[in-house]
């Protein structure tokens, strides 16, 4: 049991340190890679609809750019902290490296709650965030993207502000833009689909028919919705989905043992991925506590909401039926939980591999923007499938070869690639 306050950056460093030890990395490489290269903290004054001015806190962290420009989302969240952003930027470095795309790791954030902000106020935050960081990002420096509670519209406002400041057209400055305004087809599907491509491959290696499997999701936002769609298209059955209830300020799990119909559930889901309780009851869902998603007797658990959800307190509640965890969210499992998951013999598809579909498609978006030629959705998704499948197979081969946990195998591959890039550049 652990009651220490959760610090995602400490966790990212802890994960790194253990792999650095296994790889026998020298001291200077360790020091360089366990910390961000650059970290920006700034204030964003925004004129609110009532005429007052509110000052928001913003961040951008560039963890490492030895393999290419930094890449990573910008989150709007009331509990955003500098350490969360640092952890997420670090994981982006490993994520880009594990799928072998020529990008580094970055992440941004603003402490705010879009639930309580008008469209105009959100536009003010987006433009203000860019004004503070415009000199330090760009197509060849650092390329932001959407993340929790930021959307293609937010990205377009950000691009527009950047272009106004730099007096030119720079569609490659930001990804996750709306289709038709420099966005790529398939981007909204990419993270969820990418997750399920890896789940499909893992089940194939285990000799398990996906059609005979059941799953429980935490979250019903962008990642979970598309993961749920593809998983059910492949024939899997979703038993439960949990999400945050803004009115009650708590989370609930929606369970229907006959199976969740994703399209139907979407009709009663708001734009923040929150499900309407009363309407769900009418559709035959049981409404359980927020933690119930992890206790379900299913084959696959798919945490697709927040970090620190599978921890020393919750991991013991995982059913003995579970054979696999696919981490759609960033950092959903703590190192303490990893130990319990290993003891239970559950196959883990770690976050920075499982959810790399989003950044891979963002990379495709950059490539298309640079060529000024856009691919069809099928072309994008088939390239994504190839990249995710290749990455999964490399990591699982490494895990078998070195007899290590999948998270360690993914780290071994990515840290080695980044350390090598730093070495070749003569940095270390
Ligand atoms: P989102 O904002 O669209 O959805 C988040 C979902 O989580 C919502 O359904 C919300 O109700 C739910 N949620 C929030 N708090 C919860 C709680 N305490 N209990 C249960 N449910 C809760 O976000 P998203 O884009 O789907 O991202 C989800 C996770 O995936 C994040 O960790 C994000 O960093 C990660 N991720 C997203 C992408 C992407 O392309 N969107 C890419 C890589 C990783």
Atom in ligand 1 nearest the alpha carbon of residue 269: 9
The tens digit of pLDDT for each residue in 312-344 reads 999 999 999 999 999 999 889 998 999 999 999
What is the pLDDT at residue 1? 43
13 lines ligand 1 (CB under 6 A): no
Query: From the candidates 71, 86, 95, 107, which is the catalytic residue?
Result: 107
110 lines ligand 1 (CB under 6 A): no
Q: With 90 as the cut, is the pLDDT of residue 5 above it? A: no
What is the pLDDT at residue 374? 96
Distance 49 CA to ligand 1 centre (A): 28
Tokens of 68: 């290419």
Residue 387 bears catalytic tag? no
What is the pLDDT at residue 370? 85
Q: How far apart are CA 175 and CA 366, in angstroms?
A: 7
Residue 417: closest CA among 1, 5, 15, 19: 19
What is the pLDDT at residue 4? 67
CB 38 within 8 A of CB 62: yes
242 lines ligand 1 (CB under 6 A): yes
292 lines ligand 1 (CB under 6 A): no
Mean pLDDT throughout 35-39? 98
228 lines ligand 1 (CB under 6 A): no
The tens digit of pLDDT for each residue in 345-368 reads 999 999 999 999 999 999 999 999
User: What fold is seen in the domain 184-428?
Assistant: Rossmann fold (3.40.50)
Mean pLDDT throughout 269-298? 96
Residue 235 CB-density burial (10 A; 0-12 exposed, 13-18 middle, 19+ buried):
exposed
Mean pLDDT throughout 97-125? 97
Residue 133: closest CA among 85, 79, 61: 61
Ligand 1 mutation target, pool 76, 195, 304, most atoms within 8 A of CB: 304
What is the pLDDT at residue 331? 87
The tens digit of pLDDT for each residue in 230-276 reads 999 999 999 999 999 999 999 999 999 999 999 999 999 998 899 99
326 lines ligand 1 (CB under 6 A): no
- Spell out the domain ranges in the chain: 34-182, 184-428
Atom in ligand 1 nearest the alpha carbon of residue 273: 9
Distance 158 CA to ligand 1 centre (A): 21
357 lines ligand 1 (CB under 6 A): no
Nearest CA to ligand 1 atom 4: 221
State the Cα angle at 228 between 223 and 232, rounded to 5°: 155
Whole-number percent of the chain with pLDDT over 70: 99
269 lines ligand 1 (CB under 6 A): no
Q: With 70 as the cut, is the pLDDT of residue 427 above it? A: yes
Ligand 1 mutation target, pool 223, 288, 289, 364, most atoms within 8 A of CB: 223
Residue with tokens 């229907």: 256
Q: How far apart are CA 212 and CA 256, in angstroms?
A: 17
Distance 18 CA to ligand 1 centre (A): 27
Summary mean pLDDT of the chain: 96
Q: How many CA atoms lie within 13 A of 226 on its CB side?
A: 18
Residue with tokens 């994008």: 380
What architecture is domain 34-182?
A: 3-Layer(aba) Sandwich (3.40)
What is the pLDDT at residue 3? 55
Q: How far apart are CA 122 and CA 286, in angstroms?
A: 35
What is the pLDDT at residue 112? 98
Distance 426 CA to ligand 1 centre (A): 38
Nearest CA to ligand 1 atom 2: 148
**Which band of pLDDT confidence, cut at 50, 70 and 90, is reported for residue 137?**
very high
Q: Which residue has the higher pLDDT, 379 or 306?
A: 379
Mean pLDDT throughout 215-234? 97
Residue with tokens 């490489």: 29
What is the pLDDT at residue 148? 86
191 lines ligand 1 (CB under 6 A): yes
Nearest CA to ligand 1 atom 1: 221
Q: How far apart are CA 169 and CA 160, in angstroms?
A: 9
Q: Which residue has the higher pLDDT, 51 or 4?
A: 51
The tens digit of pLDDT for each residue in 386-396 reads 999 999 999 99
What is the pLDDT at residue 2? 46
Distance 16 CA to ligand 1 centre (A): 24
Task: Report the 3 state secondary structure along the chain.
Answer: CCCCCCCHHHHHHHHHHHHHHHHCCCHHHHHHHCCCCEEEEEEEEEECCCCCEEEEEEEEEEEECCCCCEEEEEEECCCCCHHHHHHHHHHHHHHHHHCCCCCEEEEEEECCCHHHCCHHHHHHHHHHHHHHHCCCCECCCEEEEECCCCCHHHHHHHHHHHHHHHCCCCHHHCCCCCECCCECCCHHHHHHHHHHHHHHHHHHHHCCCHHHCEEEEECCCHHHHHHHHHHHHCCCEEEEEEEEECCCCEEEEEECCCCCCHHHHHCCECCCCCECHHHHHHCCCEEEEHHHHHHCCCCEEEECCCCCCECCCCHHHCCCCCCEEECCCCCCECHHHHHHHHHCCCEEECHHHHCCHHHHHHHHHHHHHHHCCCCCHHHHHHHHHHHHHHHHHHHHHHHHHHCCCHHHHHHHHHHHHHHHHHHHCCCC
218 lines ligand 1 (CB under 6 A): yes
**Exposure string for 309-333, b = 16+ CB within 10 A, e = fewer:** bbbbebbeebeeebbbbbbbbbbbb
Q: What is the pTM of this model?
A: 0.91
Strand 250-255 to 104-110 pairing: unpaired
């Amino acid at each position: 049991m652990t009651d220490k306050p959760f610090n995602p950056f400490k966790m990212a460093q802890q994960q790194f340190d253990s792999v650095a030890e296994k790889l026998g990395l020298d001291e200077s490489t360790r020091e360089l890679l366990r910390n961000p290269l650059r970290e920006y903290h700034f204030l964003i004054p925004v004129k609110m609809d009532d005429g007052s001015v509110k000052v928001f806190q913003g961040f951008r962290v560039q963890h490492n750019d030895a393999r290419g420009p930094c890449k990573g989302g910008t989150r709007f969240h009331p509990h955003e902290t500098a350490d969360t952003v640092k952890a997420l930027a670090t994981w982006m470095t490993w994520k880009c490296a594990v799928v072998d795309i020529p990008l580094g790791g970055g992440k941004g954030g603003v402490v705010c709650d879009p639930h309580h902000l008008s469209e105009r106020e959100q536009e003010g935050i987006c433009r203000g965030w860019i004004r503070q960081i415009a000199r330090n990002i760009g197509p060849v420096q650092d390329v932001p993207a959407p993340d929790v509670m930021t959307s293609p519209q937010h990205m377009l406002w950000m691009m527009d502000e950047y272009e106004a400041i730099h007096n030119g057209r720079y569609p490659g400055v930001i990804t996750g833009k709306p289709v038709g305004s420099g966005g790529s087809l398939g981007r909204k599907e990419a993270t969820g689909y990418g997750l399920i491509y890896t789940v499909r491959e893992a089940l194939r290696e285990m000799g398990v028919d996906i059609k005979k499997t059941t799953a429980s999701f935490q979250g019903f936002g962008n990642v979970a919705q598309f993961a749920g769609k593809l998983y059910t298209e492949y024939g899997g059955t979703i038993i439960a989905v949990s999400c945050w209830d803004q009115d009650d300020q708590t989370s609930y799990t929606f369970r229907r043992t006959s199976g969740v119909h994703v399209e139907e559930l979407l009709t009663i889901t708001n734009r923040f991925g929150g499900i309407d309780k009363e309407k769900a009851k009418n559709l035959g869902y049981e409404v359980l506590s927020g933690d119930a998603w992890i206790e379900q007797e299913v084959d696959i658990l798919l945490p697709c909401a927040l970090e620190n959800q599978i921890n020393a307190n919750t991991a013991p509640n995982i059913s003995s039926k579970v054979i696999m965890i696919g981490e759609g969210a960033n950092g959903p499992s703590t190192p303490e939980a990893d130990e319990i998951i290993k003891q239970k013999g559950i196959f883990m598809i770690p976050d920075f591999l499982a959810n790399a579909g989003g950044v891979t498609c963002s990379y495709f978006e950059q490539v298309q923007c640079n060529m000024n030629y856009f691919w069809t959705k099928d072309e994008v998704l088939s390239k994504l499938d190839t990249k995710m499948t290749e990455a999964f197979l490399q990591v699982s081969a490494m895990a078998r070869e070195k007899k290590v946990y999948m998270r360690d195998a993914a780290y071994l591959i990515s840290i080695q690639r980044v350390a090598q890039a730093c070495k070749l550049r003569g940095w270390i």
